[in-house]
A and B are shown apart, each in its own frame.
Chain A
Amino acid sequence: MKCKEAEQLIYLYSELDMDEKRLLDAHVASCQQCGLIATSFGLFGEMLMKARTHEPAPANAAQLTSRIMEQVHSGSYTSRKNHGLMLPAYWFRVAITITSLILAIAFGIESSVDAYKVSQQQWEVSAPATQAHPSQYWQARTQRNKPASLYQQYRKGNAIRSNETKTIYTDEQI
């Protein structure tokens, strides 16, 4: 038996069968290094035996029983499971998250629609009749049959607006 294998078996001595124990004992008796490990582990085992004799117990067993039975009598757990009167915490959180997402999406859509309507109204008031609304351009880009005409219309409108702006701020007029 090699020392590496012996070391592993020393820590599992109580799990070995008789043959394995005999082989290990023979090695430990002839190897000083493994003998030291075995002695040390033996002391550790003795310490565990002593530590095990002290059995921890609840400070106040009657109080612990009362606390458990109070919860049992309140029926919070059984009602959750059997009658579905209360949602378990996990599903409650899931429900809250989904509701929040739906509200956020609905609010977002409503705001976008309002903003679109306002911008379209402003455009209709301020832009020349020849010019298309930018949203129409993007709508047209997705419809492959008529992107060019609307795009040109959009560019043309922009050019008109640009010229108008330029004429407003020429030095001659100022």
Chain B
Amino acid sequence: MKTYDAIVVGAGHNGLTTAAFLARAGLDVVCVEKNDYIGGAAVSRQLYKDWWYSNCSYVCSLLRPEIYRALELHRHGLQVTPYGGSLTFMQNGDYFGSYHDHEVAYREMARFSRRDADAYKTYSADTMRQCRFIRDFLLRTAPDPASFKPKDLRGLMDIGRRFLEMGEDRMYETIRFWTMSVAEYLDEYFETDVIKAAMSGSGIIGTALGIHSPGTAYVLLHHKMGDVDGNVGTWGFARGGMGAVSKSIAGAFQAAGGELRTEAGCDKIIVKNGKVTGVGLENGEEIRARVVVSAMDVKRTFLNCMDRSDLPEKFYRRVENFKIRGSSGKLNIALDGLPTFPAIPKGSTLLHSDMHFIDSMERMERAYDDWKAGTWSKDPYVDMLIPTLNDPTMAPPGKHFMSCFVQYCPHKLEGRDWTEEDKQAFANTVIDQIANYSPDFKDLILHMEVRTPADIEAEIGITEGNIFHGELTMDQLLFNRPVPGYAQYRSPVAGLYLCGSSTHPGGGVMAAPGANAAREILLDLKRPNTVPDNFGDD
């Protein structure tokens, strides 16, 4: 029986990234995927006629340009188009839009508060400073503060040096930034409720925290640190939907000689004498390899696919305590035409932007209270987009695809499983919220896919369907992600690695965990590094 150099479990964007970099180093790599399609949560799926749904992730900003370039993803069909702006519908019939043009954006903000409009530049600069601080660490392995290895000490010194370079005052501001809530952070700059509400969404997307929870200012950063073509904070559409990202990485992987197997779900990671030897598939087949890399989340990897006895007990318990919480759901909708939004100016670019329906901080936070009580938000935070306005490939001409990211939505309802009725009621909550601002919306719905965290878990395999493979709280970031002492992509089992979003620097279609894991694996195998360095911000 053939022994591969490496098996990568899970053909999501991170798994494929690791696989591609390993294959480029000349390794014999197979990537196994349980579904009959690849992409994990970065997929475009044809679930209704000629409509293609980005049915999990739906926009792209975090994808590291270094990886894009190194893997020559443009050759494999990837094209990312920036889009701008966001819009918040207000209950009084007004709206707050954020425009691409600086001056128009200024005027719009000044319509609510001139002070806020003026404060925005300072807010931007302060946030950008934090972005620059963190961006440098994305394509690096987090140093272990408990280690005395020269590499870790160097890494720590490097963080220290960059911190010191900020100067005394900005060091304090950085400490505060990392520990405060997004609501408090925004309060320091803005006075207008709707402006704060519009900006606070980025502080909670994907997390089981509310805008008032300390630590959410960092989550805001997690959504701002990406870039499209060097424009930090900009988001873009992948032409053809998010599946284009995974497809192009898969293309790079296959071009480097890698083997891709779908409908090959991993049942078990096989360990012999403390060393990994391969993977047992759900169909009973066994594949051997010297290295196994799991792109699955940390809980699924260690709790579902391994024997407890193969792992140190303390490690096992820490994995159990790792927090992956289902907090968001999705509605993917095929539309017969473009819905009208009477509040939006005709022909406005705002129609192309992210649309939101919560106009106050209180409503944002109350949405979270519902989740804490074990139910979906009755007045949810919805991040709604119509990608077909920018991308003609996702629906027939004149027809549209609408993506609604919905928060909060729990993995279980007050401890019990979701029923079909629950799902329908959840969907209705969202549809009603949108229909409040678009009278013809309901009539245009041709097909709809409702995805609760439980559905995402069942289909993609992510524990609780959490988009980040684990909460982005301080106790689960950097050297703590996923587990202190094992934050460098290695596991307690020799030859077994992690490369998914449960590892540093976390979730989002970033591919950085996959690339970082590949670097560490190649280092252990004493193979030349194929993973690019940070471009670096100057």
- Physical interaction between A and B: no
